[in-house]
């Protein structure tokens, strides 16, 4: 898909929204991963679920940022 075709398909406001959403998801993934790691190292094994959820949010953030890049 060329840049012009992508621009015609998605308005620029959509690309900005998806880009900001991707950045928010990335920050959330870092916070979840860090909190999960700190809680896990303090002895709570259930905190591994926070790390796994953080990884899932990270993958979603990569997808959103890739979509925003393609929409420009």
* CB 6 within 8 Å of CB 67: no
Q: Which residues of 30-39 are buried (b: 16+ CB within 10 A; e: fewer)?
A: eebbeebeeb
The residue extents of the domains of the chain are 3-71
pLDDT of 12-56, one tens digit each?
Answer: 787 788 889 999 999 999 999 999 999 999 999 889 999 999 999
Distance of CA 40 to the CA centre of its chain: 22
Phi, psi (deg, nearest 5) at residue 49 = -65, -35
Which pTM does this prediction carry? 0.75
């Amino acid at each position: 898909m060329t840049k012009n075709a992508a621009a015609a398909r998605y308005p620029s406001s959509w690309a900005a929204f998806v880009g900001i959403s991707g950045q928010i998801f990335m920050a959330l993934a870092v916070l979840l991963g860090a909190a999960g790691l700190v809680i896990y190292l303090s002895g709570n094994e259930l905190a591994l679920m926070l790390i796994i959820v953080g990884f899932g949010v990270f993958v979603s953030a990569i997808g959103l940022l890739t979509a925003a890049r393609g929409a420009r």
